A and B are shown apart, each in its own frame.
Chain A
Amino acid sequence: MASLRDIRKRIGSVKSTQQITKAMKMVAASKLKKAQDNVVAARPYAGKMSEVLASLALRTDPKKHPLLQRREERNVELLVITSDRGLCGAFNTGVIKAADQFLAENHDRYENIYLSVFGRKARDYYRRRNREFKSAYLNPGEILFSDAERVAGEIIDRYVEKATDAVYIAYTRFRSAISHEVEIKRLLPVEPQELKPDEVAVEYIYEPSEDALLADILPRYIYTELFSMMLESIASEHGARMTAMDSATSNAVEMVGKLTLLYNRARQAAITTELMEIVSGAEALN
């Protein structure tokens, strides 16, 4: 049986772990709030962009613009979005698992599946498995629109040069602080939103011309899409971390309770033994 001193040490260590996890939970909660606000704040812009794009795409020939063209999917690119930091439960594992599944299932369908990673966790995971990347980025934890622009820009370049025929993104969709799900979504070619049956496409006056506008709006639309996915992923990360740290904290509390019980029991046993020794010693003297 563990000595009293060992148990006391153990309790101390669990308690300090608990303090850390509790602090991390608080930090994650406040970051989650901010990340969630960012997700919400980006929605009107993204929504409007996709509406405008849908109405533009309806009235132009998809063959006119490479980003709308569908070609036979032979070389595809998969971008995996994870976080840089761990201690967020199954958050990163979830995305990587989905990505692995995608790779395994589509292995025969495509000639090549190129991998790109956003976030240290995905990079390290695939690097250990000796996968090559088209590009690898770190996830700074705070995303600017220009970050999405840079990443999407490179993806678009490869697509336009026909190095890839389609681009998929594996990321975590944010529903609420406690609910998020991994999703694989196609980024390219762009599939404009269909109009709802009761909607009529608006005839616009364009300035400059339709084609020029479309060519200008399309890449921006893709930046916006990727930007929202990144924001959602980050909000999910903080949500996952908060949940993970919360359960770690309550596990620690439970453990301290159990250890304290064990400690008291051991202490009581020691006292009893000592008493017995004294009593039997006294008896021996009589």
Chain B
Amino acid sequence: METDKIKLEVVTPYRQVVDEVVDEVIAPGEEGQFGILPGHTPFLAKVRIGDLIYRKGNQMFHVAVTNGYSEVGYHHVIAMLDAAELPQEIDVERAERALKRAEERLTALSPEDKAFFEERTALERALNRIYIARIR
């Protein structure tokens, strides 16, 4: 394999979403976004809901991701996530319904409720999907 490239794999329990050789990866880490270039030192990080970006040449690609982990080696990045979708796969209507539902439920809850956190996560997921579907 070429030494100035990264092999990117995005996997979820249901399928492999991305399997490509890329030039750069930018992922939403739990402690902030991080960028990976070829030759990066081994790195293991938690990933949160957000936009995982990868670059091939001068073209950028986006993947909507949810919580999980990413393992980085010198020439590979493996993201293990609860869910991941490419922009063209996102069902915007469904995400909008989820957004509305989460908003309605959140107004009825107070931050002390156990369900509050779950609903907020659902809200973030929906917003993220809608955002990434629109980038295209």
Contact = CB atoms under 8 A, between A and B. Distances in A.
Interface stretch (B38-46, B54-62, B119-127): B38-46
A207 B46 contact: yes
B16 interface: yes
B44 A213 contact: yes
Given A202-B73, A207-B29, A45 B44 contact: no
B44 A48 contact: no
Nearest to B74: A202
A207 B43 contact: yes
Interface size of B as a range: 20 to 34
B96 interface: no
- Secondary structure at the A interface, as helix, strand, loop or mixed, is helix
A2 interface: no
A45 B11 contact: yes
B13 A206 contact: no
- Secondary structure at the B interface, as helix, strand, loop or mixed, is strand
Interface stretch (A36-44, A107-115, A237-245): A36-44
B80 A52 contact: yes
Given A48-B71, A52-B80, A207 B45 contact: yes
Interface in B49-79: 69, 71, 73, 78
Contacts of B30: 207-208
A145 interface: yes
Given A52-B69, A52-B80, A208-B30, A44 B11 contact: yes
A224 to B, nearest CB: 7
Given A52-B80, A206-B44, A41 B29 contact: no
A217 interface: yes
Contact of B42 (A49, A145, A202, A216): A202
A28 B35 CA distance: 47
B41 A48 contact: no
Interface string A214-228: 001100000010010
B136 interface: no
Contacts of B43: 204-207
Contacts of B45: 206-207
A150 to B, nearest CB: 14
B16 A145 contact: no
A208 B78 contact: no
A203 to B, nearest CB: 6
A222 to B, nearest CB: 13
A46 B9 CA distance: 13
Contacts of B114: none
7 contacts: A41-B16, A42-B14, A48-B80, A56-B44, A204-B71, A206-B44, A207-B46
Given A56-B44, A204-B43, A205-B41, 14 more contacts: A44-B11, A48-B9, A48-B80, A49-B80, A52-B44, A52-B69, A52-B71, A203-B42, A205-B42, A207-B31, A208-B31, A208-B46, A213-B44, A224-B13
Interface of A: 38, 41-42, 44-46, 48-49, 51-52, 56, 145, 202-208, 213, 216-217, 224, 227
